[in-house]
Amino acid sequence: MKTDIEIAHSVSMKPIASIAEKLGIEFDDLELYGKYKAKIPLRFIDKEKVKQHKLILVSAISPTPAGEGKTTVSIGLAQAMNRQNYQTTVVLREPSLGPVFGIKGGATGGGWSQVLPMEDINLHFTGDFSAIEKAHNLLAALIDNNLQNKQYSLGIDPRTVEWKRVMDMNDRALRQMILGLGGTSSGVPRETGFDITAASEIMAILCLADDFEDLKKRLGNIFIGFTYSGKPVYARDLKAQGAMTALLKDAIKPNLVQTIEGTPAIIHGGPFANIAQGTNSIIATRMGLSLSDYVVTEAGFGFDLGAEKFIDIKCRYGDLQPSAVVLVATVRALKYHGGAPLDSLKEENLEALQKGFANLEKHIENMLQFKACPVVAINRFTSDTDAEINLIVEKCKSMGVDVSPIDVWAKGGEGALDLADIVAGTCERCENQITPLYDWNWDVPTKIETVAKRIYGAEAIDFSSQAKKDLKKIEKLGLDKLPVCIAKTQKSLSDNPALLGRPKDFVVTVRNIEIASGAGFVIPITGNIMRMPGLPAKPAAENIDIDNEGNITGLF
């Protein structure tokens, strides 16, 4: 069987200008990055069309090591829609470079549902992550420089500085450090660390901003810490927002590429869905809707994380309205949720599947809570039996839910034609009925409780003493009307990664609540979320190579 990169290389890409032409963009309006990548100027956003055209959100059951293929399905569905003459663009997040050298390999779909050029998209792409990293680290350097220089000092208490640095690398040794060592000319010693770039608040900000002006305002609003006299300090107090915005002058523009079938793909922004809103940029979504009748987009991890935040945060900031929501499930993952061991997933196991269906069932119920018309896509693997597929189909039908088995890895768009028609039908039938779960004006604990009880299925919420202090701080800073972007493990509906399927009677513990006042949300932290991953004992980097003609191998 061919690998993803071999399949990618077996296809000749079209010049990106001819993809842009399909969208009504002329060559002279593109900013090319090589022959197959381009940035689209922001002036192509058309507010009227954003309102008229249809937004399709792809989400999934709770992720498992068996894999769900949400990106692959998003790409395959967009290809299928174009085959059925629904003019569609797929709008995705940019992959993080760090995991490419760890376990994961690439993040550009798979098989005959990929975005191309996959090496470029997986490596530096058009430099957006680097630009975000620079803007983030410039603010950090300005903070440490202000601590260093007494002359223009704001009197920041270094122990209160919450702004860390970022690097797009899986590098656990950077998680916690003492810097500023080496004497009076080399900074003020203090404890801090690095997060991975996708976890940067600037990534979240870029993905929520309307334009340069809004971007700059949000960057200025980043909360840094307190002065010794207890006054809050924001990035604007360091006059950082102009230079930070200048660093993002190209990163703010969405990137155009193509899928393996020539469907236009806009890839822009890449925040994590467990600690940020986890969806591509509002600008990219609006651009897609301005340029084609339908946009297929995805939200990170399960429906409880990415999709909840998509509807409650992104759609509200961006004044967007999804017309259909597709939930991706696989036989393998549901069996795993039902207790089947990872190495047995190729064998038929209707009992485990039946049991694991509870996870899918809860996500369907959650979709209904947002008043969405659920559509379930069963992403086929070759080892799935007909009996297994039928079991899921029947159970979905008995809940009155549309369901369609698809095979987009092996067949591309051809493998999801039925799903494409169902989704297009749902867009007509269920337009404008999705509603948010909570009112931003509610107090923070009520907002957290609403999500945790209604979406996660928690019995109760426990606020640690630190979380209670943080609630007071948030109120004092006047940030209590912001939405809650709950950080939680993606592996379970609960905050305990070990609880698979549909956990019940559990308590969600809020350890602390972080502030992302630039992005415009607060982040209640539950469980043990890591913002800087590590590399595995044998990193994928060891297998990546390039020949003297520049051909890369070992990305998958």
Positions marked catalytic = 70, 72, 93, 104, 273, 301, 381, 409
Neighbours of 182 (CB within 10 A): 9
Give the Cα separation of 556 and 554 in Å (integer): 6
Give the Cα separation of 196 and 168 in Å (integer): 5
Does 142 bind its own copies (CB under 8 A)? Our answer is: yes
Structure letter (DSSP) for residue 13: P
Give the Cα separation of 74 and 92 in Å (integer): 8
Query: Does the CA dihedral 45-47-49-52 come out positive or negative?
Result: positive
Binding to its own copies by CB under 8 A, coded x per residue (else -) over 239-268, reads: xx-xx-xxx-xx------------------
Does 26 bind its own copies (CB under 8 A)? Our answer is: no
14: left (phi over 0), alpha (psi -120 to 50) or beta: beta
Structural contact between residues 285 and 295, judged by C-beta atoms closer than 8 angstroms: yes
Q: Shortest gap between Cβ of 491 and its own copies (angstroms)?
A: 17
Structural contact between residues 416 and 404, judged by C-beta atoms closer than 8 angstroms: yes
Structural contact between residues 273 and 96, judged by C-beta atoms closer than 8 angstroms: no
Judged by CB under 8 A, the residue of 168, 402, 449, 495 near its own copies is 168
Q: Shortest gap between Cβ of 215 and its own copies (angstroms)?
A: 9
Q: Token digits for 145? A: 């420089």
Judged by CB under 8 A, the residue of 4, 68, 94, 144 near its own copies is 144
Looking at the Cβ atoms of 249 and 472, the one nearer to its own copies is 249
List the interface residues with its own copies, window 29-48 (CB under 8 A).
Answer: 31-35, 39
Please state the residue numbers annotated as binding site: 64-71
Looking at the Cβ atoms of 176 and 390, the one nearer to its own copies is 176
Does 308 bind its own copies (CB under 8 A)? Our answer is: no
Parallel, antiparallel, or unpaired: how do β-strands 38-39 and 54-60 relate? Answer: unpaired
Looking at the Cβ atoms of 216 and 218, the one nearer to its own copies is 216
List 324's β-bridge partners, or say none. Answer: 56
Q: Token digits for 408? A: 């987009």
Does 554 bind its own copies (CB under 8 A)? Our answer is: yes
Judged by CB under 8 A, the residue of 169, 233, 376, 377 near its own copies is 169
Judged by CB under 8 A, the residue of 319, 347, 475, 545 near its own copies is 545
Q: Shortest gap between Cβ of 383 and its own copies (angstroms)?
A: 30
Does 103 bind its own copies (CB under 8 A)? Our answer is: no
DSSP string, 66-130: T---HHHHHHHHHHHHHHTT--EEEEEPPPPSGGGGTT----SEETTEEEESHHHHHTTTTSHHH
Looking at the Cβ atoms of 231 and 249, the one nearer to its own copies is 249
List the interface residues with its own copies, window 171-230 (CB under 8 A).
Answer: 171-182, 185-188, 191, 193, 211-213, 216
Looking at the Cβ atoms of 77 and 97, the one nearer to its own copies is 97
Does 134 bind its own copies (CB under 8 A)? Our answer is: yes
Does 547 bind its own copies (CB under 8 A)? Our answer is: yes
Please state the residue numbers annotated as binding site for ATP: 64-71
